[in-house]
A and B are shown apart, each in its own frame.
Chain A
């Protein structure tokens, strides 16, 4: 009982309960929602968001925010796409390290602007959100990279599966989540990210190299956006200068915050973030199934996120145990 209780008292339990209740509610109307095929569909909607959310969680834990991830995704996907198109000898896999490197560089740029000039991250990354998006247009001359240029091996990552029909791309996303967990919980610097966000004033007094840790966190956010960029090319088979990565930051930040990371820094877990991403995936998958017209999907999606946050806030105050009592 005490084990059950301690699990229920964990913040993540609230999100898990929300996911279960949401799926049961949708399943009551549309029974096909509760099938293994549907789970695959849900999972396929989430890998890019999950990868971006891992970087964003670290940024938010450090008491910053990174609004430019969608644009970094766009630039890094576009750089690899251009190389696939114009460099014949480029092997299919080379896009992966290249996109990650491009993303890490752009992320480091954010970090440098924030630490060198002591600017708030929300302002810097709002600026680079636009700046990096503009870069995508400049390097591509505003032209899309079409299907025929994306190597089929890369596209296969989203279509072929090592096991149980679950594509590679989903395993990559969970692999990133596991690596993030190890980084956040089991490395010195990972804990320093939490310390920095928990009390930025005390951090330098305890010998934490605030500048370097901040740079690292933004570089990670950029690198993961880059990885998400190349996987976007894999998943959708094209790179478009205006669409690719547009609105990414909204979904990612929503998932991270629903997952329990605190905008005030210091708090955030990989498990919570994964659950936040899955909740968004469930909602995204349920809307078309419920026959909700495309025109109103965006509004409902936003409303669901706000409701999830409100429920989460009240759960956080009272604990999941009392919420269950109230619901029963």
Chain B
């Protein structure tokens, strides 16, 4: 391969979103006839890089050449014309249209009122499915196809436009082992035809089984590119996490008390299995793992948003059943969700109303909202959490992300919870506010509350937590006490490595 000309040469690719630099000066050559893995932690920049190749994002800096010719990939359509296709984990399709139509839509540049060549279209679609060796009825609507079949349709679409570069962004996450094997077989065949496949995955075992070379990203930088045979699992993990380690001030040690929340064998089929753990008063328990490991699903189950189908919960030593968030609130639980824009804030309502939203009884003792009480409570919260705002009556959507997050935290603190579940509380907020948050979380634990902290940021878990639980693919894979927790030990438990192929053997 060394003497071949690269299909794609990326040079000095950089990308900035607003003021945040997510990709820095990436050089990468992709060879014809190779399967190339992109590896890295969440947010390391691998997906951003892939999306730049596919025209979803425009690079802020840098240049791309295709077969030695400089090209500008200005849009996904431009990418398709250049022979580059990105296959999303959950493919973008038109669910009401037939498979055959989904394959050709947007491909033909014919006039508006030209005839749809149904017969020819169906014939060609069938031929593509035969070529891929998959049994999909091309006249059926896309809706109702399994994710695996939808991915196959996307691959067929890439072939229909004769793509030379096919990028698969974590394609295996929603697939069964058998489907993964089919996908790999097809990927190998496409490689042998001389096409280039870029494969983004968290699963080292899969990368090892499928890929020829790997490139590792970390914090927006390309760290290394090498043949997969030259790297051990330990090498790869070390390269993925070896960032300069920032030490945060840890909380004043809290008195660790009795068990506040205990879960035993919680299960939601398909999301997570047999989750058992306990959180004590004054204790901060971290929940680490990769995105999609099921951590948020566990939190949602604890809080009754999507209750577990089996398993038992104890709050303060009493077995409880939580089927609805209102029951969770009544038991003293509070949940600050991950995506505040979707699940947390009432964007167009005032800061004041957002802060007092979880305590209707307190602000409306006789059923009518007493503005004076509402204002006093909100004011007090704003002062205690030093939320920066122009006015309490301001719509919360106008505040910065960090201050919105503080307001949501303030809302739940007003309920005086004994158990606080925080899901990625510092995502997308800047460093200064992050430090304030860490202090606050420490103080909350010191005041005797039990805290379950879901975070994808390893330094955050290491700095704050008394214990770190790690989930991988819906299972609890580690319970690491503070003294033994390191980035390596957490990542080791978080990266799935055995499961991918067990179904094939069975």
A and B bound?
yes
Chain A residues in the interface with B (C-beta under 8 A): 185-192, 194-195, 197-199, 201-203, 205-208, 216, 265-267
Nearest A residue to B77 via CB reads A207
Stretch at the interface among B109-117, B222-230, B411-419, B458-466: B109-117
Inter-chain contacts of A190 with B (CB < 8 A): 116
Least Cβ distance of B122 to chain A in Å?
Answer: 14
Out of B92, B106, B110, which one reaches A208, CB within 8 Å? B106
Evaluate contact between B106 and A187: CB separation under 8 angstroms: no
**Is the CB–CB distance between A189 and B94 below 8 Å?**
no
Instruction: Report B194 CB to chain A, min CB distance, Å.
Output: 26
- Listed from nearest, the 6 A-B pairs whose CB atoms lie closest are A206-B106, A266-B96, A207-B106, A189-B112, A198-B96, A198-B94
Q: How far is the CB of B121 from chain A (nearest CB, A)?
A: 10
Contact indicator B97/A187 (Cβ below 8 Å) = no
User: Can you report 14 A-B residue pairs in the complex whose CB atoms are below 8 A from each other?
Assistant: A186-B115, A186-B116, A187-B112, A191-B101, A191-B105, A191-B116, A194-B97, A195-B94, A195-B97, A205-B76, A207-B106, A216-B112, A266-B94, A266-B95
Q: Could you tell me if B95 and A188 are in contact, using CB atoms closer than 8 angstroms?
A: no
Q: Is the C-beta of B74 less than 8 angstroms from some C-beta in chain A?
A: no
A188 — which chain B residues lie within 8 A by C-beta?
A: 108, 110-116
Complex partner residue of A199 from B95, B108, B111, B114, CB under 8 angstroms? B95
Interface contact A187-B116, CB-CB below 8 Å: yes
Q: Please classify the interface of chain B as helix (H, G, I), strand (E, B), loop, or mixed, using the class held by over half of its residues.
A: loop
A189 to B76, CA, bound (A): 20
Given A185-B116, A187-B113, are A205 and B92 neighbors across the interface (CB < 8 Å)? yes
Q: Name the contact of A206 in the complex, choosing from B105, B114, B118 (C-beta under 8 A).
A: B105
Q: Does B276 contact A (CB under 8 A)?
A: no
In angstroms, Cα B105 to Cα A198, docked, is 13
**What CA separation (Å) do A201 and B76 show in the bound complex?**
13
Please name all residues of chain A whose beta carbon is closer than 8 Å to the beta carbon of B42 when the two chains form the complex.
none
Instruction: Kindly name the residue among B101, B105, B108, B110 whose own CB sees the greatest number of chain A CB atoms within 10 A.
Output: B105
- CA of A190 to CA of B93, assembled, Å: 17
- State whether A187 touches B115 (Cβ < 8 A): yes
Residues of B within 8 A of A (CB): 75-77, 92-97, 101, 105-106, 108, 110-116, 118
Cα–Cα distance between A266 and B106 once the two chains are bound (Å):
16
Q: Which residues of the other chain, B, contact A191 by a CB distance below 8 angstroms?
A: 97, 101, 105, 116
Residues of B within 8 A of A206 (CB): 76-77, 105-106
Q: Are B115 and A267 in touch, CB under 8 angstroms?
A: no
Pick from B93, B113, B116: contact of A202, CB under 8 Å:
B93
Contacts of A189 in B (CB 8 A): 112-113
Beyond the given A188-B108, A206-B106, could you list 8 further A-B residue pairs with CB under 8 A, ordered by the A residue number? A187-B114, A191-B116, A195-B101, A199-B92, A199-B93, A202-B92, A206-B77, A267-B96
What residue of chain A has the Cβ atom nearest to residue B95's Cβ?
A198
Q: A188-B111, A191-B116 are in contact. Are A201 and B92 (CB under 8 A)?
A: yes
Q: Once the chains bind, are A202 and B112 in contact (CB under 8 Å)?
A: no
A25 to B90, CA, bound (A): 49
State the Cβ distance, A111 to closest chain B Cβ, in Å.
Answer: 15
Q: Which residues of B contact A208 (CB under 8 A)?
A: 105-106
Chain A residues with CB below 8 A from B110, complex form: 188
CB distance from B394 to the nearest CB of A (A): 25
**Assembly CA distance A132 to B118 (angstroms):** 40
Contact B105 A195 (CB under 8 A): yes
Instruction: Report A299 CB to chain B, min CB distance, Å.
Output: 35
